[in-house]
Amino acid sequence: MHCPFCRHTDSRVMDSRATDDGSSIRRRRQCPECGRRFTTVETASLSVVKRSGATEPFSRAKVVAGVRKACQGRPVTEDQLALLAQRARGPVYGEDLAWGTGVTAQSVVNNWLASPRHRAVLLRPGFRRIGIGIAFGTFVGHGGAAVVTADFAGR
Ligand SMILES: [Zn+2]
């Protein structure tokens, strides 16, 4: 991620949180070169591969329009189509970050559970997949630090 101030080609994630509907992640970043901070919003994009081989962004409205057309003359109500649209959701995902010196898996999880917004990510019912990353080194000037990231996905 380029720094928007000095165009440095790297940035450090200081904090991250999922938006309320879980469709994107806001990250607070700091540039290691000029020290300025900025926010990024990342969203997952779901693509549909057409029969022709071309791809286009997933569109709930198009899915429903296609099903409506296929169901013409059949006993399918608008209510049933609306229900289908609701279920044809895109993916949701979330992320918790932690860093510090002398951290253990237990202390990281305890800190997340004690923080309402980290706890909400950990316990979100739709999440079915998890990825964990841990890096050791110097972080924000603190040697011997561990940076822990947990990413969740589901629907
Ligand atoms: Zn910069």
In whole angstroms, give the CA distance from residue 80 to residue 139: 52
- Distance (angstroms) between ligand 1 centre and the Cα of 27 equals 16
Q: How many angstroms is it from 30 CA to the middle of ligand 1? A: 8
> Ligand 1 mean position to 2 CA, how many Å?
8
Report the C-alpha gap between 145 and 62 in whole angstroms.
48
Per-residue confidence (pLDDT) for residue 30, from 0 to 100 = 92
Ligand 1 mean position to 14 CA, how many Å? Answer: 14
Find all residues with CB under 8 Å of 118, minimum gap 6, and list them. 96, 111, 112
CB 95 within 8 A of CB 26: no
Q: Please list the ranges in the chain whose pLDDT falls under 70.
A: 20-22, 44-46, 87-91
Whether the model clears a pTM of 0.75, i.e. scores above it, the answer is no
At a CB cut-off of 8 Å and minimum separation 6, what does 147 contact? 97, 98, 99, 134, 135, 136, 137, 139
